[in-house]
Amino acid sequence: MPLNNVVKKFEKSREKIGISPDEQILAGCMTDPKAAVGLAIGGVAGAAVQSAIDKKTNDRSTAVGRAASWPTGRHLLAITSKRVVICRMSAMTGKPKEVVVEWPHGDITAFDIEKKATGYPFAITFVDGSVAHGEGARGTGADLIGDTAASIWN
């Protein structure tokens, strides 16, 4: 059981973010957990730290095709019975606020995720051959993404 149950947060925000009652939320997690580290430090030092992290982990300058729409920063991801949904996350509650981008299952050819000591890095390959990279946060359900993705894209 995740410490921060992202699927439950999506369920509670279902109507607000436009997930229909017939669409099942299969798995979810917070993405790119290191994306706001510099902001917590604050000031010039925090901005420098955040800039370095963004360049290392969130560089989308070479992204093309559907992968170019992958948002930078920390978000909530859900795999539903119909699509993959990425939402902005409320800073106060951690709940999904609005859909930033979504892709129907047919737009994705592979969703590969691996377990590392600090998180769950993943790669989403789209039908146009482009690949988006991110990382699922530990304790938010990322450990369940792999089995769910394998049941859809294998």
101-154 pLDDT, tens digit each: 999 999 999 999 999 988 999 999 999 999 999 999 998 999 999 999 999 998
Number of domains in the chain: 1
pLDDT: which is higher, 6 or 34: 6
Is 118 within a domain? yes
pLDDT: which is higher, 21 or 2: 21
The pTM of this model reads 0.82
What is the domain-level CATH number for residue 86? 2.30.29.30
Q: Position of tokens 């955040």?
A: 50
d(CA 22, CA 30): 23
List pLDDT tens digits, range 25-65.
999 999 988 765 444 445 555 444 444 544 444 444 446 89
pLDDT at residue number 120: 95
In terms of residue numbers, what domain contains 26? 6-33+64-153
Question: What is Dmax (Cα atoms) for the chain?
Answer: 48
| Mean of pLDDT values over 82-100 | 93
Q: What is the total residue count of the chain?
A: 154
- Closest by CA to 29, choosing from 140, 146, 151, is 140
